[in-house]
Structure 1
């Protein structure tokens, strides 16, 4: 079975007025991964309305969001173990993911999309609302029978990064 996960981070919104492309992505995903910095409980609730949400809090989240979410989280789809952490207090997220037995770590904080295969592969989807040095972006992670792949896309669906064997 193949699972398609929306991966996002650093939405930094006070209201749940998400960009249209992100709303569509949330609605089309099998699950949502958010690596923190929702900012408010209203935004967290919007992501938690549909598909299963796997999320952590970030450094800019309100106390209500921090109280509702862990600092790091591990979950699994189709044989792929994923560790999610915001990254602001984690000098080596790949080490932390390896410690948790993860195949992939999803992180945020920098607002810049990236994919790094050193150690445990690390995916940062960038930010759909406050990007740095890149267009507003989010990612797709496809998990299938222990393999994964995907891409980071702009809000205009331009591929910025491709990774992995599945996708």
Structure 2
């Protein structure tokens, strides 16, 4: 009998209230639908962390370069969690895009999936066979509030089922008036 999927929501770079007064309603709907919410840093204010902790079934988060003392006190720089046999690591910054898979495969040799943020640029790649951790999946959900040079604001959804990461989707976030 197949297992029930664990639904994931991947967020990063929410930048509230600097880039948006609040998280869009679409983000909160995704939070309600998720079993686990990952946030890869740059919350900006502790109130966003508080609200996500109150509304998410389970929250895994880290601090980002724009997060102050209180967020850095409450959150780690790197978090790790295992969900149904899939080992996740989460951090904010991974450096330049060039050579990212090689660097991260070396830095995260025991993990299956690395969730990161910082660039506001969605990313989905796999470390190659010639790396320290072939098969490491690297995921950046972009930003739901600050698209920067991207065509749209984004988040990611995924699921873990049968010990595998499945159904990874980049989702455009509607702009609210």
**How many residues align structurally?**
154
- Please list every run of 5 or more consecutive structure 1 residues that lacks an aligned counterpart in the other structure: 157-167
Structure 2 residue 12 is the aligned partner of structure 1 residue 3: no
| Deviation, structure 1 residue 146 | 1.5
- The equivalent residue for 2:131 is none
- The equivalent residue for 2:173 is 155
Structure 2 residue 50 is the aligned partner of structure 1 residue 32: no
Cα distance in 2 for partners of 1:16, 1:55 equals 20
TM-score for both structures, normalised by structure 2: 0.81
| Deviation, structure 1 residue 68 | 0.4
| Deviation, structure 1 residue 13 | 0.4
- The equivalent residue for 1:113 is 122
- The equivalent residue for 2:59 is 53
Seen in structure 2, the aligned counterparts of structure 1 residues 102 and 17 have a Cα distance that, compared at 3 Å, is same
Cα distance in 2 for partners of 1:12, 1:54 equals 17
Seen in structure 2, the aligned counterparts of structure 1 residues 137 and 40 have a Cα distance that, compared at 3 Å, is same
User: For each residue in 1:81-114, what CA deviation from the matched residue of structure 2 results, as whole angstroms up to 9, or x when unmatched?
Assistant: 100010156973332222xx11010000000111
Structure 2 residue 106 is the aligned partner of structure 1 residue 127: no
What secondary structure sits across from 2:60 in the alignment?
strand
Runs of 4 or more above 4 Å deviation: 88-91
Structure 2 residue 99 is the aligned partner of structure 1 residue 93: no
Structure number with greater Rg is 2
- Please list every run of 5 or more consecutive structure 2 residues that lacks an aligned counterpart in the other structure: 128-133
